[in-house]
A and B are shown apart, each in its own frame.
Chain A
Amino acid sequence: MAQEAQPALSDKLGRAAASSIESIGRAVIRTLETLGGISELAWSVVRWTIRPPFRLQNLFVQLDFVGVGSIFIVLLTGVFSGMVFAHQSSRAFELFNAESLVGPTVALTLTRELAPVFSALMVTMRAVSAMCTELGTMRVTEQVDALETMAVNPVQYLLVPRVLAGLIMVPVLVMVFNTAGMAGAYLISVTIKGISAGTFISRTQQWLDPEDIAEGLIKGAVFGLAVTLIGCYKGYHASGGAKGVGQATTEAMVASAVAIFILDYLVGVMLH
Chain B
Amino acid sequence: MADRLMIEVLDLWKSFGETKVLTGANLSVPEGSTCVILGTSGSGKTVLMKHIIGLLKPDRGQVIVDGEDIVPLGPEELTRVRRKFGMVFQGAALFDSMTVYENVSFLLREHTRASEEEMRAIVRKKLAILGLHDIENKYPAELSGGMRKRVGLARAIVLDPKIVLYDEPTTGLDPITTDYVDGMILDAKRELGVTSVVISHDVASAFKVGDTIGFLYQGRIVEQLPPAKLRQSNNPAVKLFLSTWFGKND
Residue ranges of A at the interface with B (Cβ–Cβ < 8 Å): 134, 137-138, 141-143, 145-146, 148-153
Contact = CB atoms under 8 A, between A and B. Distances in A.
**Interface SS of A by simple majority:** helix
Contact of B82 (A134, A141, A151): A151
Nearest to A55: B110
B79 A151 contact: yes
Scoring B89, B93, B107, B165 by chain A CB atoms within 10 A of each residue's CB, the highest score goes to B93
A84 to B, nearest CB: 39
A141 B91 contact: yes
B84 to A, nearest CB: 9
A141 B106 contact: no
B248 interface: no
Interface residues of B, number: 24
Interface in B3-32: none
B89 A145 contact: yes
Contact of B53 (A134, A137, A149, A152): A149
A195 B87 CA distance: 69
11 contacts: A134-B97, A137-B96, A142-B91, A145-B50, A145-B89, A145-B93, A146-B93, A146-B94, A149-B86, A151-B80, A151-B83
Interface string B92-116: 0111110000000011001100000
B90 interface: yes
Nearest to B53: A149
**Interface SS of B by simple majority:** mixed
Contact of A143 (B95, B107, B110): B95
A150 B89 contact: no
A150 B75 contact: no
A134 B106 CA distance: 19
Contacts of A141: 91, 93, 96
B217 interface: no
Given A145-B93, A146-B93, A153-B75, 9 more contacts: A141-B96, A142-B91, A142-B93, A146-B94, A148-B55, A150-B82, A150-B106, A152-B110, A153-B79
A133 to B, nearest CB: 12
Interface string B145-165: 000000000000000000001
B85 interface: yes
A153 B93 CA distance: 16
Contacts of B91: 141-142
A145 B97 CA distance: 16
A148 B82 contact: yes
Contacts of B80: 151
B96 A150 contact: no
Nearest to B85: A149
Contacts of A151: 79-80, 82-83, 110-111
Contacts of A137: 96
Contact of A150 (B50, B97, B107, B165): B107
